[in-house]
Amino acid sequence: MMNQKSTEQDRIKNAAAVSCRYSMHTMSFCVKLTRWGAKVVRDKLVAYCEAEGLRYYEHKNEWADTKELIFPGFLDYGLNSVKVKAISKGKGGIYFLQIKVNPRMMFHKDTHPFVYIADADDIRKSLDRIQDFLDMTDINGIPRESFYIQRIDYCANIRLGSRQEVEEYMRLVRKGLCPHLTTRKEEYSKTQGRWIPTRNSFTVYCGSYEFTVYDKWSQMMGEKDRYKAEDIAEAEGIVRVELRVKRNKVRYEKKRTDCESEIEYLMKTAEISERLLDKHLRECFGTGCFVKASKAEELIRESSYKDKTKERMCRIVRDTAKSGLEKASLRYEKKHKDFYNMMCRFNALGISPITIKQRSEIECLEHPIEYIKNQNANLPE
């Protein structure tokens, strides 16, 4: 009995530790409405906003044949946005009520910085707040249990030291590998006159998710009109790892984790976040730390691998330094077809083929998973 009790306590302790490292920062809920139900919801939200002096507006997308009535005035209530959406389908239409929830804005906007992520209690209370919102606006007949998760943004934050470290780290992660069936996100460079990979992030996406590692301070500086100076200062030195999961992926993960309800699924947020974020970090960067090319080649030469394997690994290091791991993998696959096995060899040596600049004062930077576990920055210091 003592062993069973100890095991249970360890499980709870480990789960609490994970929830401090991995969680989410926003989630979007949706419920399908009838045409009449959508009209009733619209009318009640409009009536409430007009009575309280809150703004709302309509947005049409003729290309997608959608129309949204958007109510942004509930941000102080912790709801990033509330929308009543209509999608035309032939002679009829499909109607939804969408609510985007930010637990930090709900409960901690005056005490926690923008790098804060939600714990299990915040998630549970957020669901109660949605019901309170429905009651407050007199929207009857739509209990919170009828909503499904449309999107959830899993994340973790790591705190590095100097601005120099952050900039070098972002240079390294921008050389990462795109997982199978994903596309690298790009932005247009006016100076170069062409589309290039995003400068302050490594972002890949597909139909079911978007995965990104980015410099939180640079992101907030790019939108500094939205943030207070002290919030921007808090983000200095922080790199965020984020996975934005869409509805089809949520359904898959809900089935995989044997969750019968949306609430049950949300209560496993930390566990799911850790598994998914770690998976994508391993796919994009391997599992080893970042060292200089000279150190990487030294470790490869000293290994017990065959000489031919060593030469191929050194070639991957050099190609990655020139043009990134994605292009290095494509070049390698044209001749040898076993790039996955080569990455496993790098992992076994504890290094990444992505290397630090030779002239840098920095000798080594850890893999993101190591920083998430040991230099976490999800809560205020």
- 176, 354 in Cβ contact below 8 A? yes
Res 273 pLDDT > 60:
yes
Res 5 pLDDT > 50:
no
247 CB burial (10 A radius; 0-12, 13-18, 19+): middle
**Rounded distance between C-alpha atoms, residue 208 and residue 250, angstroms:** 9
Averaged pLDDT, 319-340: 94
The pLDDT assigned to 148 comes to 93
Res 112 pLDDT > 70:
yes
**Rounded distance between C-alpha atoms, residue 114 and residue 26, angstroms:** 12
**What stretches of the chain adopt beta strand conformation (E)?**
23-33, 57-61, 66-71, 79-89, 92-101, 148-159, 183-184, 186-189, 194-197, 201-205, 209-215, 238-246, 290-291, 364-365
The pLDDT assigned to 13 comes to 52
Residues 165-182 as b/e (b if ≥16 CB within 10 A, e otherwise) read bbebbbebbbbbbbeeeb
CA angle 119, 114, 379 (to 5 degrees): 45
The pLDDT assigned to 124 comes to 87
The residue among 189 and 42 whose pLDDT is bigger is 42
Residue type, 75: L
Averaged pLDDT, 143-160: 92
- pLDDT-derived band at 63 (thresholds 50, 70, 90) equals confident
Averaged pLDDT, 342-359: 96
Strands 364-365 and 57-61: unpaired
Averaged pLDDT, 232-249: 93
The pLDDT assigned to 7 comes to 57
Residue type, 207: G
The pLDDT assigned to 11 comes to 47
**Rounded distance between C-alpha atoms, residue 177 and residue 120, angstroms:** 32
The pLDDT assigned to 99 comes to 95
The pLDDT assigned to 12 comes to 43
Res 197 pLDDT > 60:
yes
Res 348 pLDDT > 70:
yes
Span 36-58, pLDDT tens digits: 999 999 999 999 999 999 999 99
Give pairs for 218-227: CB < 8 Å, separation 24+: 220/114, 227/114
Averaged pLDDT, 316-333: 96
The pLDDT assigned to 19 comes to 60
Calculate what percentage of the chain has a pLDDT beyond 90: 66
Q: What is the dihedral of CA 116, 119, 125, 127, to 10 degrees?
A: 90
Asked whether the whole model's pTM tops 0.75, one would answer yes
Q: Among 107-121, 200-214, 267-281, which is the least confidently predicted range? A: 107-121
Token digits of residue 249: 């992926």
Res 168 pLDDT > 50:
yes
Calculate what percentage of the chain has a pLDDT beyond 70: 94
The pLDDT assigned to 190 comes to 84
- 324, 175 in Cβ contact below 8 A? yes
The pLDDT assigned to 10 comes to 55
